[in-house]
Chains A and B, each alone.
Chain A
Amino acid sequence: MSNAAVSATETREISNEKIFDAPRELVWNAWTDPEHIKQWWGPIGFTTTTKHFDFQPGGQWLHTMHGPDGTDYPNEITYRLIEKPSRIEYEHGDCPLFYTTVIFEDLGGRTKLSMTMLFNSTEDRDETAKRYGAIEGLEQTLGRLTEYLAIQGK
């Protein structure tokens, strides 16, 4: 699981990657067809119902995630950039905190999937420079916080 570890890199983003033992075209299809997506999207125990799926720049994927305890989580994803078969960029319409980029890299029969989540607050969502400068050190801060909370708890 180490290759899927989420880390804050020096390039100021939270990223996550994993190599899949499947050709890139298949991985791409798994991301871009709601029939495929519902088979794997979300944490263990969650199911996903798609209400609307329009896979094009500016198009939206409206879906509801159903938690194992019966709680529904409506979600709105807006695709911003699509470069078949290598790149998808999207943001959460109702949660404009982070702008996500997914890169599909062909490793000859295998596929490396890299996800990057960039801070994208409402105020600066259109300012790329700010978007790229925001998360620097976030995990260090949170790491310190965890230590702090441990001390406070005593």
Chain B
Amino acid sequence: MQASNDKLSATFSALADPTRRAILGRLASGEASVSELAKPMKMTMPAVTKHLKVLQKAGLIRQERRAQWRPCYLVATPLKEASDWVFQYKQFWEDSFNRLDDYLKVLQAQNVSETVNPKGKRKKER
């Protein structure tokens, strides 16, 4: 339920910005250079670089060092972990809500039988 929270925190923090999500969205369709990323966002290269550093620190992207144009590419593992976490959350509450639904029915059935039962105090008092 709470494995590697620090990594998850870093992932969610990195995702908590529309520009960074746009960068990830772009990289999901293939590697790109910093200038290629900057152009459609109408941002300066230093501004994009700042976001790339956050993504890199969170382990969500890597920058190729070999090629001269140093393309960025997506690293999917931390995102997969975040996705699994959200799924776990869904599962937790879908299950819990179903169990609560059943339990409330049991409680209400008990209440009804208490009221209907002629020995029940509630009925006598009325």
Residues of A within 8 A of B (CB): 1, 4, 6, 14, 16, 18, 20-22, 26-27, 30, 36, 39-44, 65, 73, 75, 92, 94-95, 97, 113, 115, 117, 119, 121-123, 133-142, 144-149, 152
Q: In whole Å, how far is A134's beta carbon from the nearest beta carbon of chain B?
A: 4
**Do A115 and B93 have beta carbons less than 8 Å apart?**
yes
Q: In whole Å, how far is A63's beta carbon from the nearest beta carbon of chain B?
A: 11
Q: In whole Å, how far is A60's beta carbon from the nearest beta carbon of chain B?
A: 16
5 A-B pairs (CB sep. < 8 Å): A39-B103, A44-B98, A133-B16, A139-B86, A142-B79
**Do A18 and B97 have beta carbons less than 8 Å apart?**
yes
- How many residue-residue contacts, CB under 8 A, span A and B? 122
B69 interface hit (Cβ, 8 Å): no
Give A24 to B16 CA distance when docked, in angstroms: 35
**Do B91 and A119 have beta carbons less than 8 Å apart?**
no
Q: Per a CB cutoff under 8 Å, which of A115, A139, A152 touches B76?
A: A152
**Do B101 and A141 have beta carbons less than 8 Å apart?**
no
Q: In whole Å, how far is A98's beta carbon from the nearest beta carbon of chain B?
A: 8
Q: In whole Å, how far is A26's beta carbon from the nearest beta carbon of chain B?
A: 6
**Do A30 and B91 have beta carbons less than 8 Å apart?**
no
Given A20-B100, A113-B97, A152-B76: A135 and B25 interface contact (C-beta under 8 Å): no
Looking at the complex, which of B2-10, B31-39, B42-50 is the stretch in contact with chain A? B2-10
Residues in chain A near residue B89, CB distance under 8 A: 6, 14, 117
**Do B83 and A144 have beta carbons less than 8 Å apart?**
no
**Do B79 and A145 have beta carbons less than 8 Å apart?**
yes
Residues 105-126 of B at the A interface (beta carbon under 8 Å): 105, 107-108
